[in-house]
Amino acid sequence: MEKSIREAFGLKPADPLRVSSLSLAYVGDAVFALFFRTVLLEQKNGPNGALHSRALAYVSAVGQAKMAQGLQEMLTEEEAAVFRRGRNAKPEHGAKNATGREYHLATGLEALIGYLYLQGREDRIIELMKAGMPYAEQ
């Protein structure tokens, strides 16, 4: 999808290594939301409120932190470095319903997803999301 967006607006690809960790997390957060909303809608269509409630297990900082912890063994060295960079970033605010540790883990995972998205590695994003879903559901 990012390729289509670039082409439609005549944009040059961003170098994910030069994008700040918090900006990567910003994009990764949107990718996370779109991915899980799509999956949940396709699995079982229902009222928006019910879909939103189900999505929270995956897109909340707590759910993302669980996924981040469960996925560590799957990450390449490059991915682990991007994750750590995002985890160690200093956001301006924290999560309302998560600990500081959970928020930092979630930010690291969002940064990794944003990084992979900007590289056009959607297959890897899907692989990680599928593998991470059971952890978020715990």
Catalytic residue among 25, 27, 28, 29: 29
In angstroms, rounded to a whole number, what is the distance separating the alpha carbons of residues 62 and 48? 21
Continuous H helices in the chain:
2-9, 21-43, 48-59, 61-71, 77-87, 100-118, 122-136
Output the pLDDT for position 46: 64
Mean pLDDT, rounded, for 122-136:
95
CA atoms within 13 A on the CB side of 45: 1
Stated pTM of the model: 0.89
Cβ atoms within 10 Å, residue 60: 18
Structure confidence by residue, pLDDT tens digits, 14-38: 888 889 999 999 999 999 999 988 8
Dihedral sign computed on CA atoms, order 119, 126, 77, 22 = positive
Q: Which CATH class is domain 20-136?
A: mainly alpha
Dihedral sign computed on CA atoms, order 132, 31, 120, 102 = negative
Structure confidence by residue, pLDDT tens digits, 112-125: 999 999 999 999 99
Residue 35's identity, in one-letter code, is F
**29 labelled catalytic:** yes
